[in-house]
Every structure is written in C-alpha cells, then in structure tokens.
Amino acid sequence: MHFFQRQISLRARSRGFHLVTEEVLQSIPEVKNINVGMLQVFIQHTSASLTINENADPTVRLDFETWMNKAVPERDPDYQHDYEGDDDMPAHIKSSLMGASVLIPITNGKLNLGTWQGIYLCEHRNHGGSRRVVISAWGS
C-alpha cells in the first residue's frame, strides 16, 4: 500500500463551476503507479466546493450556476451573517450543499471516472481568490 498527499493552490477563478481534473492530476503524478486505489480531493474553504459532473459541454456548468443562484439567492433578509458581502452567506450554504470533497477510484494508474465526468471547483464567491485543496492518493 502506498500513500501520497499534496496540498496545492488552485488559481483564482471567477464565480461559477470550473473543470480542474487535469490541474489535480498534474499535481500528483504518483497516481500513475497505483493499480487499485482511491483519490480524494478536499477543499479547505467554506465558500467554495467540489463535485463531479459533465466534462464536455460547458453549458452544464453555466446551468449549475444558474440553478444554484435561484436555489440560494443573495440578499435574503433572513440571513444574519451578512457583513462579508451579499455573496458570502449564500456561498457558505452552496458549499455545504455541494460538499467539501470528492472520492474517485483509481484503476490501472488512471482515475476511473465515467466517460463524461470531471472534477469541478465550484466557486461561490464573486472574488474568492486562489483555493487550497489537499489531494490524497492511496492504493497498491
């Protein structure tokens, strides 16, 4: 059994849903040496999240952003946590809805994602900045 771990900073991105699969894989080349194992990506923030979804058609990512903004609107008068900007409390809620980590099987040195799947960084703030993630891979 081998275990590898890296902490990296994903470059700052605009608000929305962004494919980061290749950026993650480039940071942990040891995945190529794992025949059977797992890869976990964990984000160390409370206003951004991670998920796995469509990697081919960019309109899916646009539709995710549209739906999330309808489901969790800004400027809700019931929010009490509002001193960090109109996008902050909704970003916290969206982050909890989407999740802080993804777990992907590794098979024969590659992520065993479906044909049309990729890892999304879900940036819920207007100006979130770079995002720290911890990437762990283990297996034999």
| pLDDT 10s digits, 68-93 | 999 999 999 999 998 899 999 999 99
Number of domains in the chain: 1
The CATH number for 104's domain is: 2.60.120.460
Distances (CA, A) of 53 to 30, 84, 105, 109, 115: 24, 30, 15, 21, 10
Instruction: Quickly tell me which residue has 């275990």 as its tokens.
Output: 3
Q: Helix/strand/coil (H, E, C) string of 62-82?
A: HHHHHHHHHHCCCCCCCCCCC
Q: Helix/strand/coil (H, E, C) string of the chain?
A: CEEEEEEEEECCCCCEEEECHHHHHHHCHHHHHCCEEEEEEEECCCCEEEEEEECCCHHHHHHHHHHHHHHCCCCCCCCCCCCCCCCHHHHHHHHHHHCCEEEEEEECCEECCCCCEEEEEEECCCCCCCEEEEEEEEEC
Instruction: Quickly tell me which residue has 């703030």 as its tokens.
Output: 125
What pLDDT was estimated at residue 80? 95
For residues 19-44, average pLDDT: 98
Percentage of the chain with pLDDT > 70?
A: 100
The model's pTM: 0.96
CA angle 65, 97, 73 (to 5 degrees): 50
Give me the domain span that covers residue 101: 2-139
Q: How many whole angstroms separate alpha carbon 121 and alpha carbon 115?
A: 19
What pLDDT was estimated at residue 82? 87
Average pLDDT, whole number, for the chain? 97
What pLDDT was estimated at residue 65? 98
For 92-118, what is each residue's pLDDT tens digit? Answer: 999 999 999 999 999 999 999 999 999
